[in-house]
């Protein structure tokens, strides 16, 4: 029996594959699109049974090649570029593909865990898994929202028994996101900027927030993996926010990144005021292209997640970014 991980060479998918390996699970079929081939590096230290292109995989499902052979599906594959403007591609890739995979799992009785997104909440200020809170700002968020709606309909069916669990990821950061380019986390970009220039750049204030004080729920990848595996073990269904439940500012992420680098070099930490005074933190104009499409504040309501039995604490920015920076430093090429 195989465990399927879609988006397996991506950020969250590859971390899930590695975590499954650490549990002794290696009968994994990695499904992805390697048109951007550099993602393969995320799987170099992982053990898998096979790799399939996402198109070949969905065709194999339709042909019955995996009937009775799949133990669980962890569906992480999607276009995650929130600036993508090709709506037809986004809906085919994120929505329609997911529906086909969901239907297979329901027909076969295969547990289906999938990646949703906090982008479904748009500019709202209440982040609760409820229809009235949802109003995505871009087609990426809409593709995720629409699939969540399909799942809700399936979950409401009286004879529903197969596990289906969706996780609305907030701002995930951590190892194995190098390939994501502009869509990588701010912690990734701040680390690169500081190592290259000795300073980091944040957006000026917007939507009533001061410079760098826009706030997001930043969640460390290790916690995302733990939640997924917890639900895989427990068999619980539903749609859940996956964040820390605590909004922290971009200034806090920048300070945590710089101070983790300083600590690794044997230097003392600096306060935000000191970092600003020394020019280590700079502010740049807020991009015109993001106005009206930007979430200046996110904070997961994790009540439903806790009610479902997930009780473990989440790492705050200081702890999570500290681990991330150390990982980045450990994997830097030798001079």
Q: Note the residue count of the chain.
A: 335
Residue with tokens 């750049």: 201
Q: How far apart are CA 230 and CA 85, in angstroms?
A: 35
Residue with tokens 């909440």: 121
Contacts of 324 (CB under 8 A, 6+ apart): 173, 174, 175, 187, 191, 220, 260
Q: How far apart are CA 194 and CA 188, in angstroms?
A: 10
2 a catalytic residue: no
Cα–Cα distance list, 220 to 32, 169, 176, 183, 279 (Å):
23, 11, 12, 16, 27
Q: What is the token pair recorded at 90?
A: 């986004």
* Residue of 2, 18, 51, 180 with catalytic role: 180
* Residue of 140, 142, 173, 240 with catalytic role: 140
89 a catalytic residue: no
Burial 232-250 (b: 16+ CB within 10 A, else e): beeebbbbbbbbbbebbbb
Task: Provide the annotated active-site residues.
Answer: 140, 180
């Amino acid at each position: 029996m195989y465990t399927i991980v879609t988006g397996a060479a991506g950020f969250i998918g590859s971390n899930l594959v590695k975590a499954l390996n650490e549990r002794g699970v290696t009968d994994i079929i990695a499904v992805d699109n390697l048109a951007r081939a550099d993602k393969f590096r995320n799987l170099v230290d992982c053990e898998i049974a096979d790799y399939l292109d996402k198109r070949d995989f969905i065709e194999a499902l339709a042909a019955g090649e995996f009937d009775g052979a799949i133990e669980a599906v962890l569906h992480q594959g999607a276009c995650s570029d929130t600036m993508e403007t090709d709506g037809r591609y986004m809906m085919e890739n994120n929505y329609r593909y997911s529906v086909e995979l969901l239907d297979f799992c329901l027909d076969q009785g295969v547990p289906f865990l999938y990646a949703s997104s906090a982008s479904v909440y748009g500019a709202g200020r209440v982040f609760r898994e409820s229809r009235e809170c949802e109003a995505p700002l871009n087609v990426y968020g809409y593709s995720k929202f629409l699939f969540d709606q399909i799942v809700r309909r399936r979950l409401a069916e009286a004879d529903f028994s197969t596990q289906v669990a969706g996780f609305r990821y907030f701002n995930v950061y951590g190892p194995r996101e190098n390939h994501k380019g502009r869509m990588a986390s701010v912690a990734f970009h701040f680390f690169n900027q500081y190592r290259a220039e000795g300073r980091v750049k944040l957006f000026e204030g917007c939507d009533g927030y001061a410079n760098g004080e826009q706030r997001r729920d930043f969640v460390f990848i290790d916690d995302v993996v733990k939640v997924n595996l917890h639900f895989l073990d427990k068999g619980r269904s539903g749609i859940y926010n996956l964040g820390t439940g605590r909004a922290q500012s971009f200034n806090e992420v920048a300070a945590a990144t710089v101070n983790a680098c300083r600590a690794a070099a044997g230097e003392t930490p600096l306060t935000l005021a000191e970092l600003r005074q020394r020019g280590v933190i700079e502010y740049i104009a807020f991009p015109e292209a993001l106005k009206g499409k930007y979430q200046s504040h996110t904070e997961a309501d994790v009540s439903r997640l806790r009610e479902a039995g997930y009780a473990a604490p989440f790492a705050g920015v200081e702890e999570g970014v500290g681990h991330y920076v150390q990982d980045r430093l450990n994997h830097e090429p030798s001079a």
